[in-house]
Amino acid sequence: MKKYYIKNAVKNIGQLVTLKGWVHEIRETSNFLFIILRDSTGKIQLTLKKSESTSNLVDIAKTLHHEDVIEVEGVISKSNIARLGIEMIPYKLNIINRAKHPLMLDVTGKINAELSTILDARFLSLRRDDYYSIFKIQSELVKIIRDYLYQQGFTEIFSPKIIKFATEGGAELFKVQYFDTEAYLAQSPQLYKEMCAGVFEKVFEIGQYYRAEKSHTPYHLSEFLSFDVECAFYTYNDVMDFLESLLKDVISNLYSVSNEYFNKLGVDKINLDYKFERIKYDEIILMLNNYGLKWGDDLTSQYLKIVEEKIGKKFFFIIDWPTQLKPFYTYEHENNNQITKSFDLNYGSLEIASGGERIYKSEDLINKLKKIGLKLENFSIFIKALESGSPPHAGFGLGLSRLLMILTGRKNIKEVVLFPRDVERLIP
Ligand code: ATP
Ligand code: MG
């Protein structure tokens, strides 16, 4: 078992330790051989003085290549020239596994690569400082969200990903053969999280969902990571309040915990020191009335870019969407059934989350399903759930990778997903 990691070396000056890791870089001068050894916690310089080291050690070290896996024993010492202020003077070096060259990608990041190569060679690109940092940030982000929600009394749920009936419209479904019947991959946990909110009151799920998105945008994948919340006895305004404080808290926490990784990425921290505006869909239409948009039209990215120009690259809600633009389970305003108690959260032109109040009375849902021509029998279990004492409830679904894109300043969602899936990509 590996017990000693490079990050501990700083605390062990003068001690004899064994390190295991990867050869990141090799540099040779007339008197020295320098090897940068990397493990999952950092990098350290191994300094071999050609005249002092036993010649055998230098001979072995000279055969090393990038990404060879090695084990070294040596003494950690202070150094005035090494980057971290410490180095290891090795006296024993063992090659555990050699890497076969040429490698698909340069791990030091000195030679950049096309996104397709970066994704094909994910096992290597993750070793680059930038991608490594992105996924360390993702891991922290998820942990901070979880901690935040557990502290607030939420219950974490796991909904099925193989389902019989669609919830978000039929067009984007992936079909799967399920024994001798047909099933679909879930597009969201919607009806399941609603049923659970009727019991645990405040629930969340972080999971992957599937949409057969044929469009080629930098924001859509066929498998995407969603962070879902549903709360009983919350209104959509309550949910927006909650989402706004969650993001402010989580992001500021993330900036302090993952400071080192944000520094490596060299991205500016986004400012969150303002109230997220709540702009009515109607107001957006007014704002865009010179651009040929009319009431009832969806706010596609071309229009949202104009909105971004007007209000800036910041978080804001668009609320009270037309009924026809929101899913069937969305609650309509009591005094106006043309609009819903719904919202999108945007960062500039990019949609990050959608949410709202849900229909919680079975007769309202039945009327709605009939009105838009959906089959009642497909929803019979959900209708039963609503008939079994369903509380009013509201929630949202947030695209975690879209949030990660914003935080890490990346332009394409595929960069911030470990092994992305889109129309062209199913491997690795
Ligand atoms: P969009 O309009 O951007 O296609 P949507 O309104 O269809 O998104 P929702 O059903 O509202 O998506 O899903 C909630 C959130 O999940 C979205 O705001 C977005 O952040 C994320 N999301 C949805 N579909 C995808 C996808 N195909 N790839 C990545 N993220 C997605
Ligand atoms: Mg949406």
Predicted pLDDT of residue 53: 59
Predicted pLDDT of residue 54: 59
Is residue 151 predicted with pLDDT exceeding 90?
Answer: yes
**Residue 397: CB within 6 Å of ligand 1?**
yes
CA of 224 from ligand 1 middle (Å) equals 8
**Residue 353: CB within 6 Å of ligand 1?**
yes
Query: Confidence class of residue 328 from pLDDT cuts 50, 70 and 90?
Result: very high
**Residue 223: CB within 6 Å of ligand 1?**
no
**Residue 321: CB within 6 Å of ligand 1?**
no
CA of 356 from ligand 2 middle (Å) equals 10
Name the β-bridge partners of 177.
182
**Residue 356: CB within 6 Å of ligand 1?**
no
Is residue 322 predicted with pLDDT exceeding 70?
Answer: yes
Mean pLDDT of 305-315: 96
Q: Give the CA angle between residues 337, 235, 397 to the nearest 5°.
A: 90
Find which of 69-78, 108-117, 159-168 is predicted with most confidence, using mean pLDDT.
69-78
Closest CA to 60 of 110, 112, 23: 23
What's the whole-model pTM score? 0.96
Which residue segments constitute the domains of the chain, with CATH numbers given? 6-97 (2.40.50.140), 123-416 (3.30.930.10)
Query: Confidence class of residue 171 from pLDDT cuts 50, 70 and 90?
Result: low
Q: Give the CA angle between residues 231, 196, 141 to the nearest 5°.
A: 60
Predicted pLDDT of residue 170: 59
Alpha carbon dihedral 194, 199, 201, 202, in 10-degree steps, equals -70
Closest CA to 133 of 284, 253, 261: 261
CA of 252 from ligand 2 middle (Å) equals 25
Cα atoms found within 13 Å of the Cα of residue 70, Cβ hemisphere only: 26
For every residue of 14-62, which 3-state class applies, written as one string?
A: CCEEEEEEEEEEEEECCCEEEEEEEECCEEEEEEEECCCCCHHHHHHHH
CA of 1 from ligand 1 middle (Å) equals 42
Contact 24, 107 (CB under 8 A): yes
Mean pLDDT of 394-405: 98
Residue with token string 């799967």: 176
